Amino acid sequence: MLKENFESARPNYPLYKHNKIIGYIEFDKTNKKLEDFLDTALYLISLKVQNIVLTNRMQKSIDFQNAMKNIAKIIETQYELHYIIPLLGEMIDKFIQNHLIYIFIKDKHEYKLMWPGACNDNKIMDIINAEPRKRVTTDELGVFPLINENQILGYVITKKIDDKLTLKEIEYLEDLSKQAATTINRANAYAEILKHATLDALTGFYNRRQLEERTKQEIASSRRQKTPLCAIMTDIDFFKKVNDTYGHTVGDLVLKTVSKVMRSQLREYDIAGRYGGEEFVILLPFTKITEAKMVAERLRKAIENKVIDISKINPESPEKEIKVTISLGVYQLKTEDKETDLINNADKALYKAKETGRNKVVINE
């Protein structure tokens, strides 16, 4: 029915979808009770809808503030872009719904997709290669430069799935991009410093670069002296869920606690390193596979039994204490192995442990 008939002898109540009238409810004007009922019902429905809209706006504002805090906290303990960028992507992806999120980082003279795994839209690449220094938004795309100290570090890209970006979402994305640019810039600067360091800042274990050097040394020593050498690859189970549920500061506390417990279970000459994220590598010189399995089981039980107090880190959490578990893969170096096989084969065993239930030790024979 046409809008001009709204004031006709038969009253009509408009039906809306996305602020557009899609039809009318029509009833007999002589039915006074039905008219009164519809007036009351529509008033109550209107109030309910307004409350839902306001609640959603408030929640989105809270989510935005939490995202900003989490992005700011990442740099306190993380400096590897391959670890930081997925975290940034996941935060933005949760916050900006109905859009695909892409993050590109500048590497020398080209832009590389860092999150997620693929982007097949040539329009996006064309816009990025033009290197816009200001936000670009179309009905389909949103392009937000990551600029710090007047240098373009990369771009956050949004691609429409359903509705185009709202003005509020654009405002949020600009603020998130500014914070992300600061985080990435500091990470790059910190990474340059850590190239010359040997220890991981958070756990006190060897960092990955130094771990790789020590692995080469221990393999050479094992072959020269003809002594056994084992590696344990370990991963904190469902660590992402810890970060998502309690925040990244609690995640950092878990990493610190796990590394401290591990160190307490090892010999002085055992070598522990942070391989990346929540993964650790332990080298056990002069150790056969049967002994290494016992060490791994001891580590697993010690972590499983450890209670972690998070009340001071996250006072708002209803849970004051949490527990985590670890999965472990064990491998002993063989005569015919290449230098990379020690860690790779321990990693394969770790993958099997995770694939078959977690919180367990698997030996790669």
Given a contact cutoff of 8 angstroms between Cβ atoms, the answer to whether 103 and 154 are in contact is yes
Which listed residue (278, 291, 316, 319) is catalytic?
278
In terms of C-beta density within 10 A (0-12 exposed, 13-18 middle, 19 or more buried), how is residue 303 classed? buried
Nearest partner of 203 among 146, 274, 144, 129, judged by Cα: 274
Question: How far apart (Å, rounded) are the C-alpha atoms in residues 299 and 267?
Answer: 12
Task: Let me know the angle formed at the C-alpha of 195 by 190 and 198, rounded to the nearest 5 degrees.
Answer: 105
How far apart CA 342 and CA 284 sit, in angstroms, is 11
Give the Å distances, CA to CA, from 139 to 136, 159, 163: 10, 9, 8
Q: Is 297 a catalytic residue?
A: no
Q: Which residues are catalytic?
A: 278
